[in-house]
Structure 1
Amino acid sequence: MRLCLFLVMAGVLDAILTHLGIASGVVEEGNPAMKLVIDQSWFYFYMIKICLPLMLLGLFFLRPLKGWSRALLISTCVLYFSVLVYHMVWIVLYFKTSS
């Protein structure tokens, strides 16, 4: 349950930080599929980033994750954590070079 909640919060935070980074010209979207979505609409980007983890949270309530599905969830959390660390790095570098 906590892992699913982490994914929801990480998805929202990732979406906001990605939007701020791209809008300010500091970073570019590294995922070609998400770049296409952003080119269409920021609304779609936010819907994907927020709705996919919410659907996973809903699935967790229907059937708790065990075995390989839990391993995939943990892997996804680790991946999202590394993306958030990347965001923190560019934010620190941006503020460090702009002062």
Structure 2
Amino acid sequence: MSESFEGRKAVVVGGSSGMGLATAHQVVAGGGTGVITGRDQDKVGAAVGALSQNGKAWGITAELTDRDQVDTKRRDRASGASTPAPSYRRLRCRARSSTPSRHNRYRSAW
């Protein structure tokens, strides 16, 4: 990425490893704040530690295919119980395929 992320936040889903982590590193190197999500708390913590050496980084641990966890994280954000503040730029990094059945049950919610 050659784009500057100065003064911006980017949420990278699956940012605790692989291409997502590489993308988050580029965001932080470009002057932005990297907000990563992942399912494994230890991996998210390690990734945030590595990213924080070069700039601002935050981590969110959740299984995003679990509707209850998504609702909990959303409520936490709305209540101010967690940071950073909402003003994100979304990037999409799809490192693995998923089966349609995991997502079909949420289709009606959108």
TM-score (norm 1): 0.25
Scaled by the length of structure 2, what TM-score is found?
0.23
Question: Which one has a larger percent helix, Structure 1 or Structure 2?
Answer: 1
More strand per residue = 2
User: Larger RCO: Structure 1 or Structure 2 (Cα < 8 Å, ≥ 6 residues apart)?
Assistant: 1
